[in-house]
Chain A
Amino acid sequence: MSFEISEDFLDRLKSQDQDAFAQLVQQHHRQMIHVARGIIGDAQAEEVVQEAWVSIYRNLTKFEGRSSLKTWMFTIVSNGAKTRLRKESRQVSMADVEGTLSGVPEDLFNPEGGWSKPPPKWDINTPDQLLEEDQLQECIEKTAAGLPEQQRAVFVLREVEQQSLNEVRNMLDLSDSNVRVLLHRARVKLMQVIDRYQETGIC
């Protein structure tokens, strides 16, 4: 789970405490890579994020708290990726957004739009209970890792880093409806993994 940034931790960061900064990098670096990949693709994501960290470190003393620190950091990453994309006169591919709207398989429904294969019951009904299942956690991690790049960027920003839909839209330069479609598809895919695990005990 993404860790919370306390006032005390923020003060340490602003006074350029190396241990605190290393902890910040440890917590967010991978998520930043996924966001950069969603904008500029795999090849340059690492370089964009490295540059973003330099900028974050240099500007932390000036951080005024108008947004959350996480929003500020991820905006620096996304702006860096978008600037690089513009310099190369490239367009963001919308391939991930195309196709069917929802990601919910149509064969789950009858022609009248009712369920032909209703969602199975889950034995466990709280996140903590579900988290006790190590194999399920692995299934979810694996599925999340395999999401297409844009879907993964939206998913990471919303579910892992807890950014609002508006912030996700702005960071990734996507329309409101595209963000919702990508997020919905990711959620449905992950929900199907849990369904399968609940029914069969395997991914």
Chain B
Amino acid sequence: MLSCQHIAEYATDYVEGRMNFWQRLKFRMHLRACVHCERFIRHMGLTCILSGRCAHQLATQEEVEAVLERIKSSQ
């Protein structure tokens, strides 16, 4: 049986589907038996979605204009 520490260390490989069949099976067996690790993986999935949305930054009007100006001057 995999340890909880192993699950936490390789959670991204699991979430990203970067495991072979047997690794995935062992991972799933642990998750079915361990409420804490199941929570860790679920929280990681939520973190991915949430952080991707929150961290998206829009350029300011000045930044956009600087790019357009650069394009204009290169023509």
Q: Do the two shown chains form a genuine complex with each other? A: yes
Contact surface of A with B, Cβ cutoff 8 Å:
1-2, 18, 21-22, 25-31, 50, 53-54, 57, 101-102, 104, 106, 108-109, 112-115, 118-119, 121-122, 125-127, 130-131, 137, 140-141, 144-145, 155-156, 159-160, 162, 165, 180, 183-184, 187-188, 190-191, 194-195
Q: How far is B14's CA from A123's CA once the two chains are assembled, in angstroms?
A: 24
Q: Smallest distance from the beta carbon of B58 to chain A beta carbons, Å? A: 5
Quote the shortest CB–CB distance from A99 to chain B (angstroms).
Answer: 13
Interface size on B, residues (CB 8 A): 41
B12:A122 contact, CB within 8 angstroms: no
> Which residues of chain A are near B8, meaning CB under 8 Å?
102, 104, 108-109, 188
What is the bound-complex CA distance between A137 and B49, given in angstroms? 12
**Cβ-closest chain A residue relative to B65:** A22
Report the minimal beta-carbon distance from B42 to chain A, rounded to whole angstroms: 8
Q: Which residue of A lies closest to B68 (CB)?
A: A22
Contacts of B71 in A (CB 8 A): 53-54, 57
Which applies to chain A's interface (DSSP): helix, strand, loop or mixed?
Answer: helix
Contact across chains for A137 and B54 when beta carbons are under 8 A apart: yes
Instruction: Give the residue name and chain of the A residue nearest to B54 (CB).
Output: A140
Give the nearest-CB partner of B18 in chain A. A180
B5 touches A113 (CB 8 A): yes
Q: Which residues of A contact B58 (CB under 8 A)?
A: 26-27, 30
> In the complex the two chains form, is B70's CB within 8 Å of A104's CB?
no
Mark interface residues in B2-41 (1 if CB within 8 Å of A CB, else 0).
0111101111110010100000000000000000110110
